Amino acid sequence: MFHVKDAEFNPTGKQGVYGGYQSWINRAGRFRSLGDGQVDFKSIFSKLAGYNYKGWAVMEWECAIKHPETGAAEGAPFIKNHIIRVTEKAFDDFASTGSNEEFNRSILGIH
């Protein structure tokens, strides 16, 4: 299972990750609703697709600003829109001849 959670980090000279005794809204590091923070979800979901990940993508919502109902209403479609449907064949297999992985490895010297 993959927990999909967003956050942001805006440090100052007086405040680092946890912000000491500041309220969540005033901390340099704080959780945000999906898409409102600084997490690079396109890269993360691309990696998951590249590894042929078959597990769940579950929203873990915590936000110092947005109402939870709004976060949930936006979060589910956000995840759905980032899931990558993996192709069954190589993009350059336009003639549907398949690929010869053994041959390709031998050409590249990969064993």
Does pLDDT of 111 surpass 70?
no
Does pLDDT of 34 surpass 70?
yes
Of 5, 72, 71, nearest to 38 by C-alpha is 5
Contact yes or no for 37/5 (Cβ under 8 A): no
Where are the chain's structural domains?
A: 2-86
Q: What token pair was written down for 96?
A: 């549907």
Provide the whole-model pTM: 0.73
Pair type for strands 2-4 and 57-59: parallel
What pLDDT score does 102 carry?
A: 76
Backbone φ and ψ of 50, nearest 5°: -60, -30
24-33, 38-47, 75-84, 85-94: segment of lowest average pLDDT? 85-94
What pLDDT score does 50 carry?
A: 92
What pLDDT score does 42 carry?
A: 96
Does pLDDT of 76 surpass 70?
yes
